[in-house]
């Protein structure tokens, strides 16, 4: 195991605080139990001295400066997870470890390029939200995204469903019953008036609004 630098210690702490906040937790005990750091008191003191977190009583919270840094770290890691999973199709046990390394070295410019390349994915492979970036706000398409919405996919092409982000969670079970799940290979037959896809030997028609919630990656013919 390599030597962990102070920067990596701080980065890991910021990421953990972000994740705990997502889960609705801000208690110091939970942070201490969840962290792998060898010296929690000195770590907390460092975060306070750097203006990255505030610790009062039983609570510890990110400051505005800390949230900005944590947001970038989480965004880079979750985009890296998407890249390794959807494009490189790496095994799951390798993805998280390599993505953790990438979060410390990816530049802002490269992060934005990866996001554009992937089609601005809203979640990581585990369903956790990917913080939005400037490229997501501008929605500039500088390269053809690898992953696109089914509603924007090319008619006649086949693709692999990478993830589904339903506005109504109850849709997931219905889509699953139709064979429309992450990993399924489908062929888009038409878009209007309804979206018609072929899964194996079955043809399925789905609402165009639902097609916008299904993200797909083109597969070679």
Burial of 187-199, coded b for 16+ CB within 10 Å and e otherwise, reads bbeebeeebbbeb
- The model carries a pTM of 0.66
pLDDT band, very low/low/confident/very high, at 2 (cuts 50, 70, 90): very low
Structure tokens at 33: 């139990």
49 DSSP assignment: H
Residue 199's SS3 state is strand
Q: Which of 55, 3, 2 is nearest to 30 (CA)?
A: 55
Residue 89 and residue 120 in contact, taking contact as beta carbons nearer than 8 Å: no
Ranking 7-21, 45-59, 132-146 by mean pLDDT, the lowest is: 132-146
pLDDT band, very low/low/confident/very high, at 221 (cuts 50, 70, 90): low
The Cα 209–Cα 50 span in angstroms is: 46
pLDDT of the residue at 1: 39
């Amino acid at each position: 195991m390599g030597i962990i630098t102070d920067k990596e210690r701080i980065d890991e702490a910021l990421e953990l605080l972000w994740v705990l906040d997502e889960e609705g937790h801000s208690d110091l005990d939970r942070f201490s139990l969840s962290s792998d750091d060898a010296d929690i008191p000195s770590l907390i003191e460092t975060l306070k001295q750097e203006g990255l977190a505030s610790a009062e009583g039983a609570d510890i919270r990110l400051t505005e400066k800390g949230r900005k840094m944590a947001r970038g770290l989480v965004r880079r890691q979750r985009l890296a997870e998407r890249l390794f999973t959807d494009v490189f199709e790496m095994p799951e046990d390798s993805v998280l470890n390599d993505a953790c390394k990438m979060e410390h070295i990816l530049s802002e410019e490269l992060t934005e390029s990866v996001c554009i390349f992937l089609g601005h994915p809203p979640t990581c492979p585990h369903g956790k939200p990917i913080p939005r970036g400037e490229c997501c706000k501008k929605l500039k398409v500088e390269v053809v995204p690898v992953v696109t919405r089914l509603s924007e996919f090319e008619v006649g092409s086949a693709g692999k469903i990478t993830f589904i982000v339903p506005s109504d969670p109850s849709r997931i079970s219905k889509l699953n019953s139709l064979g429309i799940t992450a990993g399924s290979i489908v062929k888009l037959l038409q878009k209007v008036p309804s979206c018609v896809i072929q899964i194996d030997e079955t043809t399925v028609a789905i609402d165009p609004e639902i097609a916008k919630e299904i993200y797909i990656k083109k597969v070679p013919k």
